[in-house]
Amino acid sequence: MLDRRSSRESLSIGRVRGHVWRQLSVGVCVVAILSTVGWAMVRFFLEPAASREGAAAPRPVIDLESYPESGTPMPETAFLPSFLVLDTPPDSPPDPPTSGDILAAARVEQASTSLQPPSLEMLVRLAKGDSVAKVLHRLGVATGDVGNTVATLAEHVRLKSLPIGQAITLRIRPAADAGAKALLLALTIRPEPRREITLEREEDGDYSVEEEVFEVTSKLQRASGEVEGSVIASAEAAGVPRAPLAEMLRAFSWDVNFQHDIKTGDRFDVMIERSWTSDGHEVDAGRVLWAELTTGGGAESFRLYRFKPEAGEEFFYNRAGESVVKALLRTPLNMSRISSRFGLRRHPVLKFTRLHAGVDFAAPPGTPILAAGAGRVVEAGPNGGYGKWVKISHDGGLATGYAHMSRIAPGVRRSVRVRQGQVIGFVGSTGLSTGPHLHFELHRHGRPVNPLTMARTAERTRLAGRDLARFKERVAELDFLRDTMTVVEDPVAENR
Ligand SMILES: [Zn+2]
């Protein structure tokens, strides 16, 4: 029997943070927002080229799907890994029912006297434009009671920022006759996974409030496996949640071209931290602490450690303490295939041998071309056999050139500054070209060099001083956690 779960193992690292829930709740919101934004970014740059022309966002390059040889008609969905074709964002609540739907109701109390109807317990979810007050009004609760309830509740819950789909449990005593009003006996709401607020009507008609704070524990999850098909599909199958998966792909994309470099037998291994409440609710979307990916069928291996330098963003570093982010992108296109490398070759149009001073990336016409690094545009316009061409000058005596564009992006002209990853134009076949592709050049002190070799060794920022010392401690800690987790490497073989 194949049991996928056995390839993952959870380990409590026993960090109890119940007493600081207030500060953490802010953190959780930020994490949730960041992970949503991160995921939106991944989705964004995997969308078909036509739908995002002109858009600009700094980001590394991720090649996630292969596509047929250029010239073969390509279905639009060829660009979209199956999991990206989604109707709902990954972390959204279930479809909210229409306004005021009562999802569950139960008779919880028999009438104590024949004059009083029994009370009802019900679960309501907020619909779009809904509020706690509106729900209570719909249920026929007296206006004064609604006001009291909302005022009391507002001291504990930010009522205006409750999401669509927010669950509210209510206990109501319906009106005894047509002229009377329903009575709210109790209301329970969980505005965050860690907090539950219960409001109850006292004998005297006032409402009392009780807040339960659930203990939150960070748990480590590790997932590993062989890459079959794509890194995304394999990591998902091994149980890597989406937010950490997107994070991992972004970080590896500075070193790995997912389309060219992954071969049969390559493996991934990832350790994720995720927080849970004591009653089993997920508090966050999870984050990658450490990850490893091999390329070339195990020929090379890349490792990431999550770390936050004292002055700087939290991101990933290799074991040597170098940021995974590089000055130049390895591939200035999100979806591409190398169709011709740097070096001597017979020119396909001119039919004689000469130096191919760049790298050709075959890509469908209209594919956005990204600035490989931040810099200043020094040339933008027609350039003979290069067709529509853009040249950017970067720090350190480097310059990049982009040829055969179908068009140059609006605003990209001489002396304008561009950001790394900014869309500067679109793939075409202008000039001396046999089909749609990007001819990409890298110049160092005015001479063309091989962009693929150069990008591999491009300089990275390295941690130093106190940051490096702290980083080394963190590496030892993460290595220890990873090595002390039990991971069943191959659940299939295990059960054979
Ligand atoms: Zn070329």
Q: pLDDT (tens digit, 9 = 90+) per residue, 376-385?
A: 999 999 999 9
pLDDT confidence of 417, banded at 50, 70, 90? very high
CA of 357 to the centre of ligand 1 (A): 7
Mean pLDDT of the region 120-141: 93
CA 442 / ligand 1 centre spacing (Å): 12
Q: What's the rounded mean pLDDT across residues 285-310?
A: 94
CA of 60 to the centre of ligand 1 (A): 22
> Is residue 327 very low, low, confident or very high in pLDDT (cuts 50, 70, 90)?
confident
Dihedral (CA of 169, 174, 178, 180) sign? negative
Provide the pLDDT confidence category of residue 65 given band limits of 50, 70 and 90. Answer: very low
- Span from the CA of 358 to the centroid of ligand 1 (angstroms): 6
Q: Is residue 452 domain-shared with residue 342, that is, in the same domain? A: yes
Instruction: Supply the range of the domain harboring residue 150.
Output: 102-213
Return the number of other C-beta atoms located less than 10 Å from residue 218's C-beta.
17
- Over range 215-219, report the average pLDDT: 90
Q: What percent of the chain has pLDDT over 70?
A: 71
CA–centroid distance, 362 to ligand 1, in Å, is 10
Q: What is the pTM of this model?
A: 0.57
Out of 198, 213, 228, a domain closes at 213
Domain boundary, last residue among 213, 244, 263? 213
Give the H or E element holding residue 484: helix 465-484
Angle at which helices 242-252 and 21-44 pack, to 10 degrees? 60
- Contact between 325 and 461 (Cβ < 8 Å): yes
**302 in Cβ contact with 32 (< 8 Å):** no
Token pair of 276, please? Answer: 């849970």
CA of 416 to the centre of ligand 1 (A): 25
Q: How far is the CA of 458 from the centre of ligand 1 (A)?
A: 21
In angstroms, what CA-CA distances link 198 with 23, 190, 210, 245? 21, 9, 5, 36
- Please give the distance, rounded to the nearest whole angstrom, from the Cα atom of residue 460 to the centre of ligand 1: 27
Structural domain count, the chain: 3
Q: How far is the CA of 347 from the centre of ligand 1 (A)?
A: 9
Residue 384 CA, ligand 1 centroid: distance in Å: 14
Same domain for 322 and 465, yes or no, is yes
Choosing from 213, 245, 265, the residue where a domain stops is 213
Task: Give the separation between CA 194 and CA 422, rounded to whole angstroms.
Answer: 40
Contacts of 490 (CB under 8 A, 6+ apart): 7
Ligand 1 centre from 185 Cα, in Å? 75
380 C-alpha to ligand 1 centroid (Å): 18
CA of 356 to the centre of ligand 1 (A): 6
Q: Given the structure tokens 């962009």, which residue do they identify?
A: 451
Instruction: Note whether 379 and 464 are same-domain residues.
Output: no
Q: Are residues 209 and 273 in the same domain?
A: no
- The answer to whether residue 462 scores a pLDDT higher than 50 is yes
Q: How far apart are CA 285 and CA 243, in angstroms?
A: 6
355: domain CATH number is 2.70.70.10
Is residue 353 included in any domain, yes or no? yes
Report the distance separating Cα 278 and Cα 315, nearest Å.
29
- List all residues 6 or more positions away from 1 whose beta carbon is below 8 Å from its beta carbon: 495
> How far away, in angstroms, is 352 Cα from ligand 1 center?
14
Residue 84 has pLDDT above 50, yes or no: no
Q: Note whether 449 and 353 are same-domain residues.
A: yes
How many Cα atoms sit within 13 Å of 73 on the Cβ side? Answer: 1
Instruction: Kindly state the tokens that stand for 468.
Output: 């490096």
| Residues, CB within 5 angstroms of ligand 1 (ion) | 360, 439
Mean pLDDT of all residues in 291-298: 95
More confident residue, 351 or 220: 220
Which pLDDT score, from 0 to 100, does residue 420 have?
87
Q: How far is the CA of 216 from the centre of ligand 1 (A)?
A: 56
Give residue 82 CA to ligand 1 midpoint distance, Å. 32
pLDDT band for 396, please (50, 70, 90 cuts): confident
In a domain, 38, yes or no: no
Q: How far is the CA of 423 from the centre of ligand 1 (A)?
A: 20
Q: Which of 487, 493, 489, 491 is nearest to 10 (CA)?
A: 487
Give residue for tokens 């200043």. Answer: 376
Taken in order 235, 301, 64, 316, is the CA torsion positive or negative?
positive
β strands within 230-367, DSSP E: 267-277, 287-295, 300-307, 315-317, 322-326, 337-340, 343-346, 353-356, 359-362
Q: Ligand 1 center to residue 248 CA distance, Å?
A: 31
In this prediction, residue 18 carries a pLDDT of: 36
CA dihedral 445, 448, 453, 456 (to 10 degrees): 50
Q: How far apart are the first and last CA of the chain?
A: 8
Q: Residues 181, 234: one domain?
A: no
341 and 451 in one domain? Answer: yes
Distance in Å, CA 332 to ligand 1 centroid: 14
Domain membership of residue 89 (yes or no) is no
Q: Helix, strand, or coil here: 399?
A: strand
Same domain, 123 and 192: yes
Distance 388 CA to ligand 1 centre (A): 13
Tell how far the Cα of 7 is from the centroid of ligand 1, in angstroms.
45
| Ligand 1 geometric centre to CA of 70 (Å) | 15
* Mean pLDDT, the chain, integer: 77
Ligand 1 center–CA 402 separation, angstroms: 9
| 160 domain residue, yes or no | yes
> 323-327, 369-373, 456-460, 473-477 — which is least confidently predicted?
456-460
Residue 77 alpha carbon to ligand 1 centre in Å: 28
The amino acid at 391: K
DSSP string over 18-29: GGGHHHHHHHHH
How far apart CA 195 and CA 209 sit, in angstroms, is: 13
Ligand 1 center from residue 343 Cα (angstroms): 10
More confident residue, 51 or 117: 117
The domain spanning residue 124 has which CATH number? Answer: 3.10.450.350
pLDDT for 42 beyond 90: no
Do both 120 and 150 map to the same domain? yes
DSSP annotation string for 37-78: HHHHHHHHTTS-GGGGTT-------------PPTTS---GGG
Model confidence at 43: pLDDT above 70: no
- 246 pLDDT above the threshold of 80: yes
Residues 8 and 486 sit within 8 Å (Cβ to Cβ)? no
Q: pLDDT-derived band of residue 351, with 50, 70 and 90 as boundaries?
A: low
- Within-domain flag for 435: yes
Residues 265 and 207 in one domain: no
The residues, any chain, with a CB within 8 Å of residue 479's CB and separated by 6 or more, are 290
Span from the CA of 115 to the centroid of ligand 1 (angstroms): 88
Distance 235 CA to ligand 1 centre (A): 35
The alpha carbon of 78 and the centre of ligand 1 are apart by a number of angstroms equal to 25
* Predicted pLDDT of residue 367: 92
453 burial via Cβ count (<10 Å: 0-12, 13-18, 19+): exposed
Same domain flag for 393 and 431: yes
Distance, CA of 323 to CA of 294 (rounded, Å):
18
- Same structural domain, 286 and 297: yes
Q: Is residue 119 part of a domain?
A: yes
Residue 83 domain flag: no
pLDDT in tens, 132-152: 999 999 999 999 899 999 999
Which among 445, 460, 455, 421 has a CA at the least distance from the CA of 328?
A: 455
Range scoring the smallest mean pLDDT among 108-112, 310-314, 387-391, 396-400:
108-112
Say whether pLDDT at 50 is over 60.
Answer: no
In the reported structure, the alpha carbon of residue 439 is separated from the centroid of ligand 1 by a whole-number distance in angstroms of: 4
Is residue 31 one of the residues assigned to a domain?
no
